[in-house]
Amino acid sequence: MAGARVGFIGLGDQGGPMAQRIIAAGFPTTVWARRPEALAPFTAAGAAAAADPAALARASDLIGLCVRTDADLMEIYDQISPGLLPGAVVMIHSTVRPAACVALAERAAAKGVDLLDAPVSGGHAVAVNGRLTVMVGGDAGVLERCRPVLASFAQRIVHVGDAGAGQRAKLVNNLLMAANFTLAHEAVSTGVAMGLNRAALNDIIAASSGGSIAHKVYAGLPQLSDFARHVELVRKDVGLIAAERADDERVQRMAEVARRFLDAVDADANARGIQA
């Protein structure tokens, strides 16, 4: 889709930088947000502002959606649906239930529209630098058509199967990430209880075999409550895979481990009177 017209909805902490990368790559881009004032940085960079989601869909060959929850995704899809043109592609960058993507793929196909579930990993700073990882479920040929757009904000694009597979890969990744936060917290807390200096220990772990991305983020927290703004989304993702694999004891054990760090963050935030 060289020269594709791109629409983007979900201009938040991660979606915003993704949209800016698409604009900077020269793709004609249309954006929409519930709050019109949120569009200013994107229109200043050259994007067009749509009057509503259906108008955005009518102006786009490819539509990226990066909203927070299943309910948000279903609501926005219902709003873009009247404007979707045959041959268009919808890409879901949100982290949602795999079944939601399968259901939307079927609805899209009935209109002659392709759908890829393409959740991303890396966070805000990585998105700004165009180095996200995208895990893609859906038709491999459609992915190849969309690859130039994805490459504007991603350094790694991996096709993992049919619709829904991208979400399953993302949920496995996020479960491991959340569990690693708990392990990092409890390991460092153990070291401090053994009389070790926290900063020195974190420095050692960061350069040693026990290091991880989760530990790097954890080590950079002045206090646990500084992670509070992320707890809701991480807890959501842990809950999604726990529900997806309700009978899998391994997943339930990992989810239990993962929630210990999230509970610790909530406890610290409550003790400090901080509203997440």
Asked if residue 83 is part of any domain, the answer here is yes
The packing angle between helices 198-206 and 165-193, to 10°, is 140
Asked, for residue 76, whether it belongs to a domain, the answer is yes
Query: What confidence tens digit (pLDDT) does each residue in 177-194 have?
Result: 999 999 999 999 999 999
Average pLDDT, the chain: 97
Number of domains observed in the structure of the chain: 2
Q: Residues of the chain with pLDDT > 90: what percent?
A: 97
The answer to whether residue 233 is domain-embedded is: yes
Is 70 exceeded by the pLDDT of residue 2?
A: no
Q: Are residues 151 and 54 in the same domain?
A: yes
pLDDT 10s digits, 48-63: 999 999 999 999 999 9
The answer to the question of residue 141 being in a domain is yes
Asked which of 120, 144, 162 is the last residue of a domain, the reply is: 162
- Is 276 a domain residue? no
Together in a domain, 91 and 190: no
- Does residue 183 lie in a domain region? yes
Asked if residue 177 and residue 158 are part of one domain, the reply reads no
Bridge partners of residue 137, in order along the sequence: 117, 161
By three-state DSSP, how is residue 13 classified? Answer: coil
CA 10 to chain centre: 11
Q: What are phi and psi of 90, to 5 degrees?
A: -105, 130
- pLDDT (0 to 100) of residue 1: 63
State CA 167 to chain mean position distance.
10
Mean pLDDT of 232-242: 97
CA 186, CA 197: separation in Å to the nearest integer?
15
> Assign residue 273 a region: left if phi > 0, alpha if psi is -120 to 50, beta otherwise?
left
Other Cβ atoms within 10 Å of 43 Cβ, number:
15
User: Over the stretch 84-131, which tens digit does the pLDDT of each residue have?
Assistant: 999 999 999 999 999 999 999 999 999 999 999 999 999 999 999 999
Q: Evaluate whether 53 touches 80 at the Cβ level (below 8 Å).
A: yes
Is 133 within 8 Å of 121 (Cβ atoms)?
yes
Among 144, 162, 180, residue at a domain's last position: 162
**All residues at 6 or more sequence positions from 203 whose CB lies less than 8 Å from its CB, including other chains:** none
Same domain, 157 and 180: no
Q: Are residues 142 and 18 in the same domain?
A: yes
How far is residue 77's CA from residue 107's CA, in Å, rounded to a whole number?
Answer: 10
* Statement to judge: residues 242 and 151 lie in one domain: no
Closest-CA residue to 119 (of 138, 94, 100) = 94
Is 276 a residue whose pLDDT tops 90? no
Look at residue 236 and tell me whether its pLDDT is greater than 70: yes
The CA-atom distances, in angstroms, between 161 and each of 62, 99, 130, 143, 276 are 20, 14, 24, 11, 36
**Please, which residues bridge with residue 247 across strands?**
none
Residue at 1 is within a domain: no
Q: Domain check: are 31 and 124 in the same one?
A: yes
The reply to whether 11 and 124 lie within a common domain is: yes
The alpha carbon torsion through 82, 69, 138, 114 (nearest 10 deg) reads 10
* pLDDT band with cut points at 50, 70 and 90 for residue 232: very high
| pLDDT > 70 fraction of the chain, expressed in percent and rounded | 99
What's the N-to-C CA distance of the chain in angstroms?
41
Question: What letter does residue 81 receive in the DSSP assignment?
Answer: G
CATH number at residue 237: 1.10.1040
For residue 275, what pLDDT is reported?
A: 74
Residues 204 and 148 in one domain: no
Domain co-membership, 44 together with 176: no
Q: Where are the beta strands (DSSP E) in 72-226?
A: 89-92, 114-117, 120-121, 132-137, 154-161
The pLDDT value recorded for residue 274 is: 84
CATH of the domain at 129: 3.40.50.720
Query: Which of 275, 233, 276 minimizes the C-alpha distance to 258?
Result: 233
Residues with catalytic roles: 170
Domain of 83, in residue numbers: 6-162
Pair 46, 147 in one domain: yes
Report angle CA 91, 132, 175 to the nearest 5 degrees.
85
Count of CB atoms within 10 A of residue 7's CB? 30
> Within this chain, do residues 45 and 150 fall inside the same structural domain, yes or no?
yes
Does residue 77 have a pLDDT over 90?
yes
CA-derived radius of gyration, the chain: 20
- Rounded to an integer, the average pLDDT of 148-152 is 98
Give the residue among 61, 65, 57 at the shortest CA–CA distance from 145.
61
The answer to whether residue 43 is domain-embedded is: yes
Is the pLDDT at 65 greater than 90? The verdict is yes
For residue 3, the model assigns a pLDDT of 77
Residue where a domain stops, chosen among 162, 197, 222: 162
